[in-house]
């Protein structure tokens, strides 16, 4: 496979404080086959990052005092830094660019859409946004800002994963205000790792960049979830377990246009995966729109015992962020 200037075909870029903290976490945990970049208008944020590829966005307007410019300062800084952003994200061989941002602040919300637009112009093969919306405790102003950011981002990405931080309170029992953002970092890291693994990890039945590209290209909304099961009908149960994720609350997953499922099992376990079990996938898919296209793969995971794990990458479904995030429809 072709490599970009940093030696990978995947670039993950964190934008703004939240995006950078999440990418710092990914970098320190390590994800194979990925080049990390962090970018902000705030030099402190970059100074504190362990990530080697730093991009300080600056514009003449950054120093303007007039408050009517404030909202646009971050965006202008990004636009004016176009020539510096482009080589970092769009080397000829970059095939997948993943932009990470916590929406709700000035920088991430305003800069992430500009970066994705630049990537589009430079013809990066696939541009994906993985963003969060704020916890309720952060207040409605940030939430409204994030909602506007989603709309902006959607115009420029191939697909957008929106993780509503508030739903993490239903996933992690021990989540409180002191560890809330660490849990958000962890969730973003898992999403990025799962996505990148589909491309970089060798699979038994091969799924590769082209399949991910097929699933996420010009798809609008996307989500990544995983589920586990063992025993009888474990394929069906694992998919059902994945679809119970609180992260899917705003998504009508049964309206998905495309789905990619990867099944992981331990080849040394007492119950290796049998080909006939895979008939359950087709049976399960009868719950979906007839037009939903599905591809699936199988891979080894020696950390699993007799459990089967499935990761589901779904895209092109209907979403209704507004009402649910604002909490008026729950
Ligand atoms: N995952 C994660 N999210 C964070 C963290 N800190 C803040 N966020 C989220 O990101 C949103 C935006 O905050 P920041 O990223 O700090 O803001 P910014 O984009 O840098 O914008 P300004 O600093 O206002 O210019 C917040 O509302 C939080 O929901 C963090 O450490 N990790
Ligand atoms: Mg900031």
Strands 126-133 and 96-102, sheet pairing: parallel
Handedness of CA 131, 137, 142, 148 (dihedral sign): positive
The domains of the chain, with CATH numbers, are 10-200 (3.40.50.1440), 220-319 (3.30.1330.20)
Distance 265 CA to ligand 2 centre (A): 41
Distance 100 CA to ligand 2 centre (A): 14
Q: Give the largest Cα separation in the chain, rounded.
A: 68
Residue 104: closest CA among 133, 81, 125, 124: 133
Ligand 1 pocket, 73 CB below 6 A?
no
Ligand 1 pocket, 24 CB below 6 A?
no
For the chain, what is the radius of gyration of the CA atoms? 20
Least confident of 7-21, 106-120, 131-145, 202-216: 202-216
High-pLDDT (> 70) share of the chain, %: 89
List the structure tokens of 63: 């120093």
High-pLDDT (> 90) share of the chain, %: 68
CB 142 within 8 A of CB 134: yes
State the Cα angle at 81 between 76 and 86, rounded to 5°. 130
The whole-angstrom separation of Cα 134 and Cα 144 is 9
pLDDT at 267 over 80: yes
Q: How confident is the model at residue 325, as a pLDDT?
A: 55
Ligand 1 pocket, 297 CB below 6 A?
no
Ligand 1 pocket, 18 CB below 6 A?
yes
Maximum average pLDDT range among 89-103, 214-228, 259-273: 214-228
Ligand nearest to the CA of 109: 1
pLDDT at 321 over 80: no
CA distance to 72, 90, 111, 239, per residue, from 204 (Å): 49, 31, 39, 20
List the structure tokens of 291: 């037009």
Mean pLDDT, rounded, for 257-264: 94
| pLDDT tens readout for residues 9-67 | 999 999 999 999 999 999 999 999 999 999 999 999 999 999 999 999 876 544 444 33
Place of tokens 């020696």: 302
Q: How confident is the model at residue 74, as a pLDDT?
A: 78
Helix axes 106-121, 82-89, angle to 10 degrees: 70
List the structure tokens of 168: 């993490």
Q: How confident is the model at residue 227, as a pLDDT?
A: 96
**Residues with Cβ within 8 Å of residue 172, at least 6 apart in sequence:** 183
Handedness of CA 146, 148, 151, 154 (dihedral sign): negative
pLDDT at 129 over 70: yes
CB 212 within 8 A of CB 205: no
pLDDT at 166 over 90: yes
Q: How confident is the model at residue 59, as a pLDDT?
A: 62
């Amino acid at each position: 496979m072709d490599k970009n200037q940093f030696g990978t075909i995947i670039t993950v870029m964190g934008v703004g404080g939240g995006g950078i903290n999440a990418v710092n976490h990914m970098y320190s945990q390590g994800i194979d086959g990925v080049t990390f970049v962090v970018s902000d208008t705030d030099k402190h944020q970059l100074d504190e990052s362990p990530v080697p590829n730093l991009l300080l966005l600056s514009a003449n307007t950054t120093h303007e005092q007039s408050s009517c410019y404030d909202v646009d300062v971050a965006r202008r800084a990004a636009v004016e830094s176009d020539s510096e952003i482009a080589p970092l994200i769009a080397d000829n061989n970059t095939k997948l660019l993943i932009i990470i941002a916590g929406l709700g602040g000035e920088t991430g919300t305003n800069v992430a859409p500009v970066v994705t637009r630049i990537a589009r112009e430079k013809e990066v093969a696939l541009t994906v946004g993985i963003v969060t919306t704020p916890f309720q405790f952060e207040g409605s102003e940030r939430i409204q800002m994030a909602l506007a950011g989603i709309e902006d981002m959607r115009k420029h990405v191939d697909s957008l994963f929106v993780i509503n931080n508030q739903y993490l309170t239903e996933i992690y029992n021990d989540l409180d205000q002191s560890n809330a953002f660490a849990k958000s970092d962890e969730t973003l890291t898992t999403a990025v790792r799962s996505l990148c693994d589909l491309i970089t990890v060798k699979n038994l039945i091969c799924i590769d960049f082209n399949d991910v590209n097929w699933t996420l290209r010009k798809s609008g909304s996307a989500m990544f979830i995983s589920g586990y099961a063992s025993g009888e009908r474990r394929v069906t149960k694992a998919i059902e377990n994945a679809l119970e994720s609180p992260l899917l609350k705003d998504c009508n997953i049964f309206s998905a246009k495309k789905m990619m499922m990867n099944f992981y099992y331990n080849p040394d376990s007492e119950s290796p995966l049998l080909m006939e079990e895979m008939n359950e996938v087709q049976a399960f898919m009868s719950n979906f729109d007839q037009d939903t296209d599905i591809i699936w793969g199988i891979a080894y995971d020696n950390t699993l015992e007799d459990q089967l794990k499935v990761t589901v990458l779904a895209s092109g479904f209907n979403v209704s962020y507004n009402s649910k995030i604002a909490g008026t429809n729950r």
